[in-house]
Amino acid sequence: MKALKIVYWVSTLFFAGLFLITGTRYLLHSAFFVKRTLGLHYPLYLLDIIGVAKILGAVSLATPKFKRLKEWAYAGFYIDFIGALWSHFVVEGVFYYLLLVPIAILTVSYITYQRLQKNPATAIIKS
């Protein structure tokens, strides 16, 4: 179980760190994200909404409390990825395989979280 906890924390903190940075870049309207957002025909204020959501989601994943909030964060990130994949496919006609990397990391984090929660001795969030 110790190895499972290590896998959980490494994948979760890596993902959370990545999305703290990404969310911050969204809020700062980084030139890269402005160009991508306009290229997908979305309004720029969407960067602010998604940036705040990514930061809050990353913080809730990295915090070992608030079980329900953590579940919502996982769901929110999956919805974000599905929307990103679909937007790129519809507008550009391209399937972005690179997005599968954070999806895989998020999936590892979620699966290990669920397995750890099943055992009261190893649970990340104690009931």
Name the helix (H) or strand (E) containing 69.
helix 67-92
Is 124 within a domain? no
Number of domains in the chain: 1
Percent of the chain with pLDDT over 90: 76
Range of the domain at 49: 2-118
Poorest-confidence range of 5-14, 16-25, 117-126?
117-126
What pLDDT is recorded for position 127?
Answer: 56
pLDDT digits 0-9 by tens, 42-93:
999 999 999 999 999 999 999 988 889 999 999 999 999 999 999 989 998 8
CB burial of 59-83 (b: ≥16 within 10 Å; e: otherwise) equals bbbbeeeeeebbeebbebbeebbee
**Residue 48: inside a domain:** yes
Task: Give the Cα separation of 124 and 114 in Å (integer).
Answer: 9
Torsion, Cα 67 68 70 73, to 10 degrees, reads: 180
Q: Is residue 25 part of a domain?
A: yes
Crossing angle of helices 45-62 and 31-39, in 10° steps, is 120
Q: Residue 77 and residue 13: Cα distance in Å, rounded?
A: 14
127 belongs to a structural domain: no
Summarize pLDDT for 4-13 with one digit per residue, the tens: 999 999 999 9
E strand segments, the chain: none
How many CA within 13 A on the CB side of residue 69? Answer: 13
Please list, in sequence order, all residues whose beta carbon lies within 8 angstroms of the beta carbon of residue 100, skipping any fewer than 6 positions away.
Answer: none
For residue 126, being part of any structural domain is answered with no
Residue 63 placed within a domain: yes
Domain contains 26: yes
pTM exceeds cut of 0.95: no
